[in-house]
Amino acid sequence: MPTEKFVIPIGPQHPALKEPGHFEFNVDGEVVKAASVRLGYVHRGIEKGCETRNYVQAAYLVERICGICSHVHATAFSLGVERLADVEAPPRAQAIRQIVAELERIHSHLLWVGVAAHEAGFDTLFMYSWRDRETVMNLLEGITGNRVNYSANVLGGVKCDIGPEQAEVILEGLRFLEERTRHYLEVVSTDAVFLRRTRGIGVMTRDDAERLGVVGPTARASGVPRDVRVDAPYLLYREHPVELIVEQAGDLEARFKVRVRELFESFRVIRELLAALPDGDLTTRMPRRIKPAETVSRIEAPRGELFYFIKSNGSDTAERVKVRTPTLPNMASVVVTAVGHQLADVPMILAGIDPCFSCNDRMAVVRQGGEAEVWTWERLRQYGIEHYR
Partner 1 sequence: MSTETCLQTAASLLAAWAQETTGPEPGRADVVIASGDLIAAAGALIDARWGYLTAITGLDLGPDDGRLEVLYHFACGAAIVTFRVRVPREGAAVPSLVSVIPSVSFYERELMEMFGVTVEGTPNTDKLFLPEDWPDGVYPLRKDFSMEQLNGQGGG
In the list 4, 5, 31, 48, the residue contacting partner 1 (rule: CB under 8 A) is 48
> By CB under 8 A, is residue 231 in contact with partner 1?
yes
**Which H, E and C letters describe the chain, residue by residue?**
CCCCEEEEEECCCCCCCCCCCEEEEEEECCEEEEEEEECCCCCCCHHHHCCCCEHHHHHHHHHCCCCCCHHHHHHHHHHHHHHHCCCCCCHHHHHHHHHHHHHHHHHHHHHHHHHHHHHCCCHHHHHHHHHHHHHHHHHHHHHHCCCCCCCCEECCEECCCCCHHHHHHHHHHHHHHHHHHHHHHHHHHHCHHHHHHHCCCCCCCHHHHHHHCCCHHHHHCCCCCCCHHHHCCCCCCCCCCCCCCCCCCCCHHHHHHHHHHHHHHHHHHHHHHHHCCCCCCCECCCCCCCCCEEEEEEEEECCEEEEEEEEECCCCEEEEEEEECCHHHHHHHHHHHCCCCEHHHHHHHHHHCCCCCCCCCEEEEEECCCCEEEEEHHHHHHHHHHHCC
Q: With CB under 8 A as the rule, give the number of residues binding partner 1.
A: 33
Q: Shortest approach of partner 1 to residue 248 CB, angstroms?
A: 19
Letters for 8-47 (x = contact with partner 1 by CB under 8 A, - = none) are ----------------------------xxxxx--x-x-x
- Tell me if 211 contacts partner 1 by CB under 8 A: yes
Q: Which is nearer to partner 1, 45 or 370 (CB)?
A: 45
- The answer to whether 355 contacts partner 1 (rule: CB under 8 A) is no
- Select the residue interacting with partner 1 from 189, 295, 358, 376 (CB under 8 A): 295
Candidates 70-78, 265-273, 284-292, 326-334; binding stretch for partner 1 (CB under 8 A): 326-334
**CA-to-CA distance for 384 and 379, rounded, in angstroms?**
9
Q: Does 212 bind partner 1 (CB under 8 A)?
A: yes
- Is 238 one of the binding residues for partner 1 (CB under 8 A)? no
Pick from 222, 188, 216: nearest CA to 203: 222
Closer residue to partner 1 in complex, CB, 130/309: 309
Q: Is there binding between residue 138 and partner 1 (CB under 8 A)?
A: no
Kindly identify the residues of this chain, within the stretch 147-166, that bind partner 1 according to CB under 8 A: none
322 binds partner 1 (CB under 8 A): yes
Considering only residues 324, 339, 358, 364, which one is a binding residue for partner 1 as defined by CB under 8 A? Answer: 324
86 binds partner 1 (CB under 8 A): no
| Contacting range for partner 1; rule: CB under 8 A; set: 154-162, 185-193, 329-337, 353-361 | 329-337
By CB under 8 A, is residue 197 in contact with partner 1? no
**Nearest distance, CB of residue 30 and partner 1, angstroms:** 26
Question: Who's near 195: CB < 8 A, 6+ residues apart?
Answer: 189, 253
Residue 305 sits in the site that holds partner 1 (CB under 8 A): yes
Among 34, 232, 244, 385, binds partner 1 (CB under 8 A): 232
Ranges within 91-130 binding partner 1 (CB under 8 A) = none
User: Which residues lie near partner 1 (CB under 8 A)?
Assistant: 36-40, 43, 45, 47-48, 83, 210-213, 231-233, 293-296, 298, 305, 307, 309, 311, 320, 322, 324, 328-329, 331-332
